[in-house]
Amino acid sequence: MTQTTTHADNIIDAGWIIPVNASKEILSNHSLVIQHGHLIALLPTAEVDKHYHSDKRYSLQDHLLIPGLINAHGHAAMTLFRGLADDLPLMTWLQDHIWPAEAQWVNEEFVQDGTQLAMLEMLRCGTTTFSDMYFFPDVAARAAHDARMRCQISFPVLDFPTAWARDADDYIHKGLELIDDFGSQQLINIAFGPHAPYTVSDAPLQRIVTLSEELDCPVQIHLHETAQELRDAFLADRRRPIQRLHDLGLLGPRLQCVHMTQLDDRDIQLMRQNNAHVVHCPNSNLKLASGFCPVGRLHGAGVNVALGTDGAASNNRLDMLGEMRNAALLAKAISNDASAIDAHSALEMATINGAKALGIDAYTGSLEIGKAADIAAINLSAIESQPLYNPLSQLVYATDPSQVSHVWVNGELLLEDRKTLTLDSTRIISRARNWAELIKDSQ
C-alpha cells in the first residue's frame, strides 16, 4: 500500500535548529515544513519523506536555523546619517548635529531611500522584523510592505514642529490616519511613538493613553536614557520620568520602554508590577555613553527585555547578532556574574522577547507549529565557527552577519545566498552615495 504524503510549499533541512521554546532545545538534523507562510511541522530530517513532499527543498546541512531576529527599536531612515556625527555626548549629538541635519534633509525621498538601505542591511544580518520610529512613517510603512519585511511602525509624537507635523495634535492625527491605512496589513503593525518624556507634555501623553487602550495599539518611548534626563525631570516636578508615566496611566503591558539605562529598585518594581517592556540598545548606549541597562536585575525581576539597534547614526550598525552578543557580555560584567545572561537568554532577547514587547508573539518570535515562517539560516562552516561544540554558543559569542545566508519572512524567501530578492541593492547603494555627497557638501 502506497503511503500518501502531504504537499508543502517549502521544506528546509538543517544541521541544527534552535526553536527558542520553553524546553530550550537544540535539535540536530531536523527539518522545517512550511505551508501558506506558516510552520506546519518540525521533525527529524530522516522522517520528512514519510509525511511531506515539496517542489522547493533547501538542504542546509552546515547551517543553524533560528527564528528571524527582531530589532525592537530603530530609526531606519537615519542609516543615511551613519558616521555623520560620531564621538559626541547624546544631547550635543542630537541638538547640534542630528536635529539640524534632519531639518535640512529629511523628506519623503530621504525616508524612502534610508529605510530601504536599513532593510537591506537588516536582512543580511538575519533580521525579519523591525520596529521603526521616524518621520514620514507612511513612507517607511510602504517601503516595508514592498520589501515584504515584518515591522512595527511607531509614528513619532512631539510637542514641536518637524518636517512631518506641526504639533502633538497634528502628529497624532496623522498617526491615526496611518492606522486606518495600514491596520489591515498582515506584516505591518502601527504603534504610537511619543519621542521621550522631555519632548512630549502631559496632555498628548494622556490622549495617547486613551487612544492606545481604545485601539489596542502599542506605545514606544525613549525612557531613562541618560542621567541628565533624570536630573532635569526631577528638577521640573520632583518625579522620575517613569513615575510620571505611571501617574499618567501610560505604564502598562502595551508600553515599550527604550534604553532604560538609569534604573533603581523602585523603577524596576514599577516595570514588573505594570508588565511593561524594556528595549535594550547596548551598542548605542555604549557609543553615546548613556549608561548601562541593568539587564541582569530586570531579568531576575521577571521584566521582559528585548533588543534593538537604535539608529545607525548612533550605533553605527544594524547588526542584531552584535547586539545579542554585547547584551550578554555587558550583563555579565555589570552584575559581576558570568551566568547572569546565558546564551539562550540572549537569543530569547533577540527573538521571542522582542515579539512579546511588540505584541506579536502569538505568530512570530519562535519556530513553533502554527507560527509564521520567519527564519534565519546561519552558516556554521566558517573558520570562525570551528571547532563546533555548541551551535548556540557559537551563534551568540562568535557569529558574524556575513554568515547569515538565507532569510524567510512569512514563508517567503527574502535573502538567498546573501542576495536580497525584494530589494535592489545596486540601486539602494547608489542612492545612499548620492545622499552622502549632498550632505557632505553642506557640512
Burial class of residue 7 (count of CB atoms within 10 Å of its CB; 0-12, 13-18, 19+): exposed
Query: pLDDT digits over 352-395, tens only?
Result: 999 999 999 999 999 999 999 999 999 999 999 999 999 999 99
Q: Determine the pLDDT at residue 441.
A: 74
Identify whether residues 51 and 106 lie together within a single domain: no
Tell me: do 84 and 159 sit in the same domain: yes
* DSSP3 helix / strand / coil % (the chain, rounded to 5): 45, 20, 35
Instruction: Give the DSSP letter string of 185-216.
Output: -SSEEEEEEE--TTTS-HHHHHHHHHHHHHHT
Judged against a pLDDT cut of 50, whether residue 73 lies above it is answered with yes
Asked whether 138 and 79 are in contact (CB, 8 A), the reply is: no
Question: Per the domain annotation, does 148 fall within a domain?
Answer: yes
Residues 55 and 80 in one domain: no
CATH number at residue 194: 3.20.20.140
151 assigned to some structural domain: yes
pLDDT in tens, 279-323: 999 999 999 999 999 999 999 999 999 999 999 999 999 999 999
Q: What whole-number percentage of the chain has pLDDT above 90?
A: 95
Q: What is the pLDDT of residue 51?
A: 97
Instruction: Please check whether residues 354 and 387 belong to one and the same domain.
Output: no
Q: What is the pLDDT of residue 1?
A: 29
Beta bridge partners, 32, equal 12, 42
Q: Are 309 and 281 in contact (CB under 8 A)?
A: yes
Q: Tell me the pLDDT of the chain averaged across its residues.
A: 96
Strand partners, 377: 65, 406
96-106 per-position pLDDT tens digit: 999 899 999 99
pLDDT in tens, 151-206: 999 999 999 999 999 999 999 999 999 999 998 899 999 999 999 999 999 999 99
> Has residue 442 got a pLDDT over 80?
no
Would residue 194 count as lying in a domain? yes
Same domain as 221, residue 193? yes
79 with 122, same domain?
Answer: yes
Residue 293: give the domain boundaries. Answer: 69-358
Say whether both 265 and 399 belong to one domain.
no
Neighbours of 5 (CB within 10 A): 13
276 DSSP 8-state letter: -
Tell me the whole-structure pTM to 2 decimals.
0.97
Strand ranges inside 22-87, DSSP E: 27-35, 38-44, 52-53, 57-67, 69-71
What is the C-alpha to C-alpha distance for residues 199 and 159, in angstroms, rounded to an integer?
6
Same domain, 50 and 149: no
Question: Are 249 and 186 members of one domain?
Answer: yes
Sheet holding 38-44, edge to edge: 38-44, 27-35, 10-17, 57-67, 375-379, 404-409, 412-416, 419-420
441 found inside a domain: no
The sign of the dihedral angle between the CA atoms of 123, 126, 130, 133 is negative
pLDDT tens digit string along 98-141? 989 999 999 999 999 999 999 999 999 999 999 999 999 999 99
| DSSP secondary structure of 327-371 | HHHHHHHHHT-TTSS-HHHHHHHHTHHHHHHHT-TTTSSS--TTS
DSSP characters for 92-139?
Answer: HHIIIIIHHHHHHH-SHHHHHHHHHHHHHHHHHTTEEEEEE--SSHHH
Residue 2 has pLDDT above 70, yes or no: no
For 233, 235, 268, 353, 354, the CA distances from 300, given in Å and listed in that order, are: 28, 31, 10, 15, 17
Inter-CA distances, 247 with 221, 226, 242, 416, Å: 16, 21, 9, 49
Report pLDDT for 183: 82
Identify the CA nearest to 277 among candidates 296, 300, 259, 265.
Answer: 259
Do 112 and 173 share a structural domain? yes
Same domain, 193 and 304: yes
Q: Which of 90, 66, 132, 105 is nearest to 351 (CA)?
A: 66
- Is 422 contained in some domain? no
pLDDT at 370: 98
| pLDDT above 80 for 83 | yes
What pLDDT sits at residue 240? 97
The verdict on residue 432 lying in a domain is no
For Cα atoms 356, 360, 361, give the angle at the middle one, nearest 5 degrees.
55
Distance CA 316, CA 311 (A): 7
CATH for 405: 2.30.40.10
CB 42 within 8 A of CB 66: no
What dihedral do alpha carbons 69, 72, 73, 74 form, nearest 10°? 30
Total tally of structural domains belonging to the chain = 2
Q: Please report whether residue 330 resides in a domain.
A: yes
- C-alpha to C-alpha distance for 326 and 328, rounded to whole angstroms: 5
Quickly state the pLDDT bin for 443 (edges 50, 70, 90): low
Q: Which region, left, alpha or beta, applies to residue 216 given φ > 0 means left and ψ of -120 to 50 means alpha?
A: left
- 318-347: per-residue pLDDT in tens? 999 999 999 999 999 999 999 999 999 999
Residue 280, domain member (yes or no):
yes
pLDDT of 59 strictly over 60:
yes
Together in a domain, 80 and 178: yes
Q: Which helix (H) or strand (E) holds 48?
A: helix 45-51
